[in-house]
């Protein structure tokens, strides 16, 4: 397997993992709101900690520092989408802060409506963000990056796998 294939697989794997945890959190929250389950706040917290840690502290910095930086060095064709996605990385952090506040308020009040609404908004935003990365950025990267670029990207993302969250 080439460094490019390994790097792309890791990036897509991380996207899938983030999406799966988000869906799990949404499903549990929906079950609670429908009365099919009792709120498990330690579970909410653990899932939220993962969602907060992996995208904003592990995944996005690697994209910005390696994939996006190297792609900018090789082509200007990606500049507009990379500017958008880098800006969205900050928006993700802001949306997560809103989700955290809504989760805390819902725990205190027992009304999880705002928590569900803010979580859904974050999830839709993140899925669209990841779609753009996979359908626009990765194909551009495949066309423009060198094998040495891919080795650096693969090494950076491989390091994510050994970090405990």
**pLDDT tens-digit readout, 81-137:** 999 999 998 898 889 899 999 999 999 999 999 999 999 999 999 999 999 999 999
d(CA 130, CA 149): 21
More confident residue, 144 or 40: 144
Q: What is the pLDDT of residues 19-30, one digit of tens each?
A: 999 999 999 999
pLDDT > 80? residue 163: no
Nearest C-alpha neighbor of 7 from the set 164, 149, 165: 149
Alpha carbon distance 34, 37 (integer Å): 8
* Predicted local distance difference test score (pLDDT) of residue 165: 44
CATH code linked to domain 3-34+41-159: 1.20.120.520
Per-residue model confidence (pLDDT) at position 162: 63
DSSP 62-131: HIIIIIIHHHHHH-STTHHHHHHHHHHHHHHHHHHHHHHHHHHHHHHHS--HHHHHHHHHHHHHHHHHHH
């Amino acid at each position: 397997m080439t460094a490019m294939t390994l790097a792309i697989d890791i990036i897509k794997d991380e996207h899938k993992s983030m999406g799966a945890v988000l869906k799990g959190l949404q499903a549990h929250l929906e079950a609670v709101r429908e009365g099919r389950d009792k709120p498990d706040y330690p579970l909410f917290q653990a899932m939220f900690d993962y969602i907060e840690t992996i995208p904003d502290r592990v995944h996005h910095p690697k994209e910005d520092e390696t994939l996006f930086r190297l792609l900018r060095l090789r082509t200007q064709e990606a500049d507009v989408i990379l500017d958008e996605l880098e800006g969205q990385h900050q928006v993700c952090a802001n949306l997560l802060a809103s989700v955290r506040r809504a989760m805390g308020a819902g725990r205190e009040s027992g009304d999880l409506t705002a928590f569900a609404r803010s979580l859904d908004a974050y999830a839709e935003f993140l899925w669209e963000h990841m779609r753009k990365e996979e359908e626009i950025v990765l194909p551009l990267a495949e066309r423009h990056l060198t094998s040495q670029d891919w080795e650096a990207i693969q090494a950076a993302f491989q390091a994510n796998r050994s970090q405990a969250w």
